[in-house]
Chain A
Amino acid sequence: MNMNYFPDEVVEHVFDFITSHKDRNSVSLVCKSWYKIERYSRQRVFIGNCYSITPQRLIARFPGLKSLTLKGKPHFADFNLVPHDWGGFVYPWIKALAKSRIGLEELRLKRMVVSDDSLELLSKSFPNFKSLVLVSCEGFTTDGVAAIAANCRFLRELDLQENEVEDHRGHWLSCFPESCTSLVSLNFACLKGEINLASLERLVARSPNLKSLRLNRVVPLDTLQKLLMRAPQLVDLGIGSYVDDPSSEVFSKLKAVIQLCNSIRSLSGFLEVAPCCMSAIYPICENLTFLNLSYAPGLQGNDLTKLVQHCRKLQRLWILDCIGDKGLGVVASTCKELQELRVFPSDPFDAENAAVTEEGLVLISAGCPKLNSLLYFCHQMTNAALITVAKNCTNFIRFRLCILDPVKADPVTNQPLDEGFGAIVRSNKSLKRLSLSGLLTDQVFLYIGMYAKKLEMLSIAFAGDSNKGMLYVLNGCKKLRKLEIRDCPFGDVALLQDMGKYETMRSLWMSSCEVTLGACKTLAKKMPSLNVEIINESEKLESEQLELSFDDRLLVDKMYLYRTLVGDRKDAPEYVWLL
């Protein structure tokens, strides 16, 4: 039966069940009628690159928009490779949405520059605004947060994750009016400054729907105890400061109240911690599915191991490498439901004392059959270990390995790690995201091009021998969306071989490679649907060098290109050249 015989409302009702962005995008391409029905009924839009479209066009196409997700800076901005004012400003989006009739309820931003003015405008323009999630953003202070607290009458979610926020030690928390009782999720762990603890207690007391609470490091243990008394229904808890004398009365009270919090499934924080207090947490460990101790450097390896032994139902674990290979062995034998593991370096600058090696990873792969997502910072890796991991684990969706010493070979055989990574991509057919490290030749890219057919994102550093490496990837990985490369000997030949490929991808980043200015100009000229940006940070160029800068043979330091429907952006700073 042909769906076109159904009235629009029926088709729309069917579309209600189609929630994934990809599926809705596909549906809108079927025919004009479906495009129209889809666009009027669409409530959630995801824009992976804020420069691929303008807010005006978004508003024109989706008048029913309620929830918007925007991403700004390229991923390598996380590692200080992109200057702070490169772009990704949210203000124009909020301004345009505010002027329109859009009833925005949810805004989720990642790697964007968010000013206090934007937050204030946001808080005053949308009466039904419910949810603000800011991840790895910057540019705002606690004054902006105060505006959200004060003006969003039906706020359910205020989730600040890993943002650099200037803390004015103000009273933002006290700005939640007494009438605000709708909070479901409050995460302010990334704020550095003091807050009014009494205000916090009152806020939690009048938020019966509060399910997720993540505190910052100034919230002491006795406040935590009082908060838990008010909110034993919490599902997700982030502890700020966890320091006390285990023989104190406050600590006994905490132990008692924790017994009542049997809904907690997710635990994080411990930004300040006294290990001798950790035993109070054991009762909730039994039910935990997510444990994030990656910001708790106060816990030593054996504290971590003791804790993990109680976490039999754990599905996701984020931990520091001081847990050691032995500790990972304990994880492997305890956490049989583990799907995601992230092991971060305790001391990013001290590769020699890094505490996990290939042994820990092998133990995990052997003990955790459901493992599908890995981020692993380690001191060394061997091909043999990776081959074993590939035999044990065939479900990887994300595999990110970072050997702290770049270009480090297999310490046992002195060989590059091509075979090891080759085994990983060969046996993990669902792999969507891969990050490589260690000594690698063009061979690994041959394997990736051959086997990583579902790969969507690839991060490469200090790898490869020649243009062939990059070409294997561009030719073989049909689903590639994001490619980011630094310090590899890939140049113009690889860049220009298949220019149409970049229209099928979100973006390409190449820094400290061997791409010339001339090649970038050629690419920009031949592909109007791509924006090719050169980031040239030496702002104080002498005039002689300015003349030099017109030489097409110049090697470009940083190039970022992305597909777009709207041409060059107008907000680039002087040192970003839009070709």
Chain B
Amino acid sequence: MENSVAYEKATELRLGLPGIDEPAVLSSVKNNKRPLHDEKSGENGKSAENETAPPSKAQIVGWPPVQSYRKNNFQQAKKSESECGGIYVKVSMDGAPYLRKIDLKVYKGYPELLQVLENMFKFTIGDYSEREGYKGSDYEPTYEDKDGDWMLVGDVPWEMFIRSCKRLRIMKGSEARGLSCSGV
């Protein structure tokens, strides 16, 4: 099926260099229309699968109709985010033989960070509450901030946290519980 489509396209008289992406992609889109009318007829369904990428992911020229200025802006914003360089901090865990390093910029917020720490060191962090810190586990995630103080992870907004965090330490046992007192 795919071959006959390609043959048709090759013999169609069109102004333009042969082998440009655009006609090929468009033919996949046009073919996809039919399966939605008929109930997913086998051949058409197959040809859709055989294409290298579904229409939404393939780069159809000029689609979606977003101004190129806007599109360029987002690409630049994404680029500059990654170009900024990561915020790499050391992570230590009480009792573990060696430290790890992670890039805080990669994560979108606390839940993701805590999940990663749990996976990295194979332990469970308790549930966070503003009043009581992390309940339900022997471990508490802490960090050293710009002023050299050891703080509980999760109290300040994420953006502020990644800007002020110098290193992370997963504290264990009684030392940890001392930190989680709400009194400052």
Contact = CB atoms under 8 A, between A and B. Distances in A.
Interface of A: 76, 78-81, 136, 162-164, 190, 245-246, 271, 274-276, 294-295, 297, 344-349, 351-352, 377, 402, 404-407, 409, 414, 416, 435, 439, 459, 461-462, 486-487, 512, 517, 534, 536-538, 540, 548-549, 551, 553-557
A274 B67 CA distance: 26
Given A536-B16, A557-B16, A409 B36 contact: yes
B36 A162 contact: no
B15 A549 contact: yes
Given A461-B65, A486-B62, A487-B26, A352 B14 contact: no
28 contacts: A79-B65, A80-B61, A162-B67, A276-B160, A295-B70, A295-B73, A344-B66, A344-B70, A348-B66, A348-B71, A349-B59, A351-B64, A402-B65, A405-B55, A414-B36, A439-B36, A461-B65, A462-B29, A487-B26, A512-B22, A517-B15, A534-B15, A548-B13, A553-B13, A554-B13, A557-B14, A557-B15, A557-B16
Contacts of B55: 405-407
B63 interface: yes
Interface string B57-94: 10111111111111111100100000000000000000
Contacts of B22: 512
A285 to B, nearest CB: 20
B155 to A, nearest CB: 13
B163 to A, nearest CB: 7
Contact of A275 (B69, B73, B157): B157
A136 B69 contact: yes
A512 B30 CA distance: 12
Interface footprint category on B: 35 or more
Contacts of B73: 295
A402 B64 contact: yes
Given A271-B77, A348-B71, 10 more contacts: A76-B62, A79-B63, A245-B163, A275-B159, A276-B159, A295-B73, A439-B33, A461-B65, A536-B16, A538-B17
Contacts of A540: 17
Given A164-B69, A276-B157, A377 B14 contact: no
B77 A297 contact: yes
B78 to A, nearest CB: 8
Contact of B56 (A351, A416, A538): A351
Interface in B148-184: 157, 159-160, 163
Nearest to A462: B29
Nearest to B39: A414
Contacts of A557: 14-16
Contacts of A80: 61-62, 68
Contact of B66 (A377, A409, A487): A377
A461 to B, nearest CB: 7
B13 A551 contact: yes
B47 interface: no
Which are the 9 A-B pairs with shortest beta-carbon distances? A79-B62, A351-B56, A276-B157, A405-B56, A538-B17, A162-B69, A81-B62, A554-B13, A348-B66
A458 to B, nearest CB: 13
Contacts of B63: 79, 406, 461
Nearest to B71: A348
At the interface, is chain A mostly helix, strand, loop or mixed? loop
A270 to B, nearest CB: 11
Nearest to B67: A78
B29 A406 contact: yes
Contacts, number: 120
A377 B64 CA distance: 9
Contacts of B163: 245
A278 to B, nearest CB: 11
B60 A406 contact: yes
Contacts of B36: 407, 409, 414, 416, 439
B32 interface: yes
B53 to A, nearest CB: 11
B130 interface: no
Contact of B14 (A295, A344, A554): A554
B8 interface: no
A557 B23 CA distance: 10
Nearest to A348: B66
B40 to A, nearest CB: 10
A404 B15 contact: no
A170 B44 CA distance: 57
A512 B20 CA distance: 13
A348 B74 contact: yes
A555 B14 contact: yes
Contacts of B64: 345, 348, 351, 377, 402, 404
A556 B64 CA distance: 22
Most chain B beta-carbon contacts within 10 A, residue among A79, A164, A404: A79
Contacts of A512: 22, 26
Given A407-B29, A407-B33, A487-B29, A78 B68 contact: yes
Contacts of B65: 78-79, 402, 435, 459, 461
B15 A345 contact: no
A551 to B, nearest CB: 6
Most chain B beta-carbon contacts within 10 A, residue among A276, A295, A347, A349: A349
Nearest to B33: A407
A548 B12 CA distance: 12
Contacts of B157: 246, 275-276
Interface string B83-126: 00000000000000000000000000000000000000000000
Interface in B3-25: 12-17, 20, 22
B12 to A, nearest CB: 7
A472 to B, nearest CB: 19
B68 to A, nearest CB: 5
Contacts of B15: 517, 534, 536, 538, 549, 554-557
Contact of A79 (B57, B59, B67): B67
Nearest to A277: B159
Contact of A537 (B16, B62, B67): B16
